[in-house]
Amino acid sequence: MLGTDTSNPPESAVPALEADPYYRRVTFALVPLLWAAFIYAAWFSQTADLTWAGQLGLIIATGGVGGFCINLGHEIGHKRAPLERWLAKLILAPSFYGHFTVEHNRGHHRDVATPEDPASSRMGETIWRFVWREMPGAFKRAWALERERMRVDGQALWSLRNEILQPALITVALWSALCVWLGPQVLLFLIPAALWSNFQLTSANYIEHYGLLRLRDANGRLETCKPQHSWNSNHVFSNWATFHLQRHSDHHAHPLRRFQSLRHFAQAPQLPNGYFGMFPVAYIPPLWFAVMDKRLLAAVNHDPERINFDPRKRETLIAKYQLKPVMAATASTR
């Protein structure tokens, strides 16, 4: 209803915009607010006389809160300031997804839009299949990256310097306190709420790079991540709610940019709706494929060498859409 906004801040204004403390204070203020909402929901689940439908609704609502926690952790977890990095760990803790910052910053941004990235969905892959590749794949990659960092730094893996263990310990402390306060049965609420929270991230990952592929040169080097390797949306309301996460191309090109400075790129592939509109579409695979496959083909000029295919569907999709290579470069899917 609010439409789209493709305007960009002038580059001359960006330094002042980045330095404006107002936007930082917004993110800081949300940390205690989201924690309070999560704790209140846990208390309400154990004290209100709810039917099973009421409990399910509360789990879904609380999972939405947890999804906003992860989105906030994404925004501030990219920043260099120690306070913001610690606040990112704190806000990722309620939904037990503290490994996200390690995996996303050092893994996803390196491998995005390649078959090697568990957080980049493939053409022909349903979200219900993607989640079984993305969630465990992200967890494994986070631990591999942190293990290597600790080795290079000469630190013991199982120590308080481990940036996966730090938020995990905050989660254990929070959930343990809730169990002491409300009883261990609160875990029957916390676990599904956390899973639904984490699935909100899966939903975003699924739509952000669907089918888009970075190419490799003759020496196997990946091309630089460009605007055409991310799906974008300029829908106003969902951009307000997600700290301009939907201006995803600029985020991948300049991950340290704060949300208020992210730009629209006309050449980037555009989603037909904002994230809140696209999530339900993704949950119905035939509808998702009907909406998105034709957009993907238009975005890559019908060139199969620029498509990240589900390997099981590659030949079927090439035959269905009568695709032929139109570029000399060789994709990394082979």
Per-residue pLDDT of the chain (334 residues; tens, 9 = 90+): 888 999 999 999 999 999 999 999 999 999 999 999 999 999 999 999 999 999 999 999 999 999 999 999 999 999 999 999 999 999 999 999 999 999 999 999 999 999 999 999 999 999 999 999 999 999 999 999 999 999 999 999 999 999 999 999 999 999 999 999 999 999 999 999 999 999 999 999 999 999 999 998 888 899 999 999 999 999 999 999 999 999 999 999 889 899 999 999 988 999 999 999 999 999 999 999 999 999 999 999 999 999 999 999 999 999 999 998 875 444 444 4
Q: How far apart are CA 45 and CA 60, in angstroms?
A: 12
Name the 3-class secondary structure at 251.
helix
Residue showing tokens 């704060």: 258
Q: What digits encode the pLDDT tens for the residues 143-170?
A: 999 999 999 999 999 999 999 999 999 9
User: Helix 285-299 crosses helix 275-282 at what angle (to 10 degrees)?
Assistant: 120
**Alpha-carbon torsion (118, 166, 23, 15), positive or negative:** negative
Domain ranges of the chain: 11-321
CA distances from 134 to 28, 43, 137, 247, 320 (A): 29, 31, 5, 22, 27
Q: What is the pLDDT of residue 327?
A: 56
- Angstrom CA distances, 90 to 70, 87, 125, 143, 164, stand at 10, 5, 33, 19, 12
Tell me how crowded residue 168 is: count the other CB atoms within 10 A of its CB: 18
Least Cα distance to 112 among 31, 22, 225 occurs for 225
The predicted-structure confidence for 30-52, as pLDDT tens digits, reads as follows 999 999 999 999 999 999 999 99
**Which among 45, 2, 32, 27 has a CA at the least distance from the CA of 185?**
45
State pTM to two decimals: 0.93
